[in-house]
């Protein structure tokens, strides 16, 4: 789960016009770019940054949902949630591997994350306060992520595109899992339904922010679109998400916390769509810059796991060295 919007990589590049044109011709012909192929430095930098952020988002994203694994209310929900959070870890792993094909190591990327230098999706800096948050995350956050990830399966960079195909296949159960939790709560007791509404109230706006700033404020979208790293703009995807989600909320009998939300038949070239109220970008930037409720806790949890695991990683390497030495001595 993750969405776009934070990339912010510098796509500037200094190759000759001939080199860039030849590269662009390959991109325009929908050829995939593979790890050792010649590529502009800006393309490589943008990808390293985007895939790294995507991977970090998966890993940090394990924490808010992981917060409820030990409190899942039934054994079925416990198994499903554990499998889902485990998937996020797997997706982080596939993505780190894709980034590693560009010459950056997982250790380097991890260090950047732990040092607070790398970004990850801000949605994970909000706390999960009730079981309904697990439903809301699956429904809204994974729903938003799918909007972004499906086009990424066609990304011009081969290893990223292949990782995304695998991820999308595996994630297909995530949103359904979340929506089913919401549905069960909404059909349950009044307390449960209130829990679901409260979760929607808290997760709706952060979910819309996941798509990133409005196109007019998004500096790097154009170059990324040209290189076919990105296929749709932030606003296009956000609109698609809103249009898909509003009827799902109605089916649940829940109210989207936006008094200005209304159907506009002229939107989307006359196909119709929802107008929505203003997004609080001050809040967005505050959280991106590290001042959300959970930013510090999330990084502290990742650092703790990393630090406390160091002796295990060292021991495995030491044993491998010893074993090799013993095998050589025996020859």
Partner 1 sequence: MTETPTPLWEVFIRPRNGLSHKHVGSVHAADAELALQAARDVYTRRGEGTSIWVVPSAAITASDPDAAAEFFEPTADKIYRHPTFYEIPEEVGHM
Partner 2 sequence: MTDQLFDALIELADDNLVLGHRLSEWCGHAPMLEEDLALANLALDLVGTARALYSLAAEVEGKGRTEDDLAYLRVEREYRNLLLVERPNGDFGHTILRQFYFAAFMEPFWSAAAAGSSDARIRAIAAKAAKEMAYHLRHSGEWVVRLGDGTDESHRRMVAAVDALHHYTDELFVASPAAEAMAGAGVLPRREAMRAEWDRLVGQVLAEAGLTAPDVPWPQIGGREGLHGEELGHMLAEMQYLQRAYPGATW
List the single partner that 77 binds among partner 1, partner 2, none, CB under 5 to 8 Å by kind: partner 2
Q: How many CB atoms lie within 10 A of CB 149?
A: 22
The entry of partner 2, partner 1, none that residue 184 binds, CB within 5 to 8 Å by partner kind: partner 2
- The tokens of 209 are what? 């922010």
| CB 327 to partner 2: min, Å | 14
- Smallest CA-to-CA distance from 9 within 119, 111, 84 is with 119
Nearer to partner 1, 271 or 327 (CB): 327
Say how far apart CA 110 and CA 165 lie, in whole Å.
24
Tally Cβ neighbours within 10 Å of residue 106.
15
The answer to whether 213 and 5 are in contact (CB under 8 A) is yes
Nearest residue (CB) to partner 2, 67 versus 201: 67
CB neighbourhood size of 12 (10 A): 12
Residue 157 DSSP label: B
Q: Do residues 210 and 121 touch, judged by C-beta distance below 8 A?
A: yes
Taking CB within 5 to 8 Å according to partner kind, which of partner 2, partner 1, none is near residue 38?
partner 1
Structure tokens at 146: 């799918």
Among 312, 327, 328, 329, binds partner 2 (CB under 8 A): 312
Alpha-carbon Rg for the chain, nearest whole angstrom, is 21
Name the binder of 166 from partner 2, partner 1, none, CB < 5-8 A by kind: partner 1
Q: Which does 203 bind (CB under 5 to 8 A by kind): partner 2, partner 1, none?
A: none
Piece of 17-25, 177-185, 210-218, 279-287 that binds partner 2 (CB under 8 A): 177-185
Alpha helices by DSSP H, listed for 216-294, are 221-226, 234-252, 281-286
Beta carbons of 303 and 114 less than 8 angstroms apart: yes
Q: Which residue, 97 or 129, has its beta carbon nearer to partner 1? A: 97
**Position 304 contacts partner 2 (CB under 8 A):** yes
Binding partner 2 by CB under 8 A: which of 35, 90, 127, 277?
90
Residue 312 or 329: the one with the smaller Cβ distance to partner 1 is 312
Q: Is 273 helix (H, G, I), strand (E, B) or coil?
A: strand
Question: Comparing C-alpha atoms, which of 17, 221, 177 is closest to residue 84?
Answer: 177
Distance separating the N- and C-terminal Cα atoms of the chain? 50
**Interaction site with partner 1 (CB under 8 A):** 34, 36-38, 86, 90, 93-94, 97, 100, 105-108, 111, 163, 166, 170, 310, 313-314, 316-317, 319-320, 323
User: 191 vs 260, which CB is nearer to partner 2?
Assistant: 191
Interface with partner 2 in residues 190-219 (CB under 8 A): 191-192
Out of partner 2, partner 1, none, what residue 111 binds, judged by CB under 5 to 8 A for its kind, is partner 1
Cβ proximity to partner 2: between 214 and 321 the closer is 321
Query: Is 16 a residue that touches partner 2 (CB under 8 A)?
Result: no
Distance CA 264, CA 113 (A): 42
Binding residues for partner 2, per CB under 8 A?
A: 59, 62-63, 66, 69-79, 82-83, 85-86, 89-90, 92-93, 96, 131, 181, 184-185, 187-189, 191-192, 301, 304-305, 308-319, 322
């Amino acid at each position: 789960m993750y969405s776009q919007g934070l990339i912010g990589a510098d796509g500037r590049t200094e190759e000759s016009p001939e080199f860039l044109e030849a590269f662009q011709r390959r991109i325009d012909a929908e050829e995939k770019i593979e790890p050792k192929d010649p590529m502009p430095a800006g393309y490589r930098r943008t990808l390293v940054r985007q895939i790294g952020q995507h991977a970090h988002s998966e890993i940090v994203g394990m924490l808010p949902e992981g917060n409820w694994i030990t409190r899942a209310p039934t054994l079925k929900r416990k198994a499903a949630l554990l499998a889902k959070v485990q998937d996020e870890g797997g997706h982080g792993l596939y993505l780190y591997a894709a980034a590693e094909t560009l010459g950056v190591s997982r250790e380097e990327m991890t260090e950047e994350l732990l040092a607070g230098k790398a970004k990850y999706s801000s949605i994970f800096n909000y706390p999960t306060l009730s079981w309904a948050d697990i439903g809301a995350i699956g429904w809204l956050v994974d729903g938003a992520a799918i909007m972004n990830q499906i086009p990424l399966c066609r990304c011009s960079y081969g290893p990223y595109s292949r990782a995304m195909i695998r991820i999308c296949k595996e994630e297909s159960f995530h949103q359904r899992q979340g929506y089913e939790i919401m549905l069960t709560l909404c059909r349950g007791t009044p307390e449960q339904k209130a829990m679901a509404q409260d979760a929607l109230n808290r997760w709706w706006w952060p979910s819309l922010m996941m798509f990133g700033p409005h196109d007019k404020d998004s500096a790097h979208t154009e170059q990324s679109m040209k290189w076919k790293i990105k296929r749709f703009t932030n606003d296009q995807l956000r609109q698609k998400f809103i249009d898909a989600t509003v009827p799902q909320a109605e089916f649940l009998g829940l109210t989207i916390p936006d008094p200005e939300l209304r159907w506009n038949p002229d939107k989307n070239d006359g196909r119709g769509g929802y107008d929505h109220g203003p997004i609080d970008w001050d809040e967005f930037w505050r959280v991106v810059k590290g001042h959300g409720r959970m930013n510090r806790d999330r990084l502290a949890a990742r650092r703790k796991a990393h630090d406390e695991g160091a002796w295990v990683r060292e021991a495995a390497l030491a044993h491998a060295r010893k074993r090799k030495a013993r095998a050589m001595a025996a020859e």
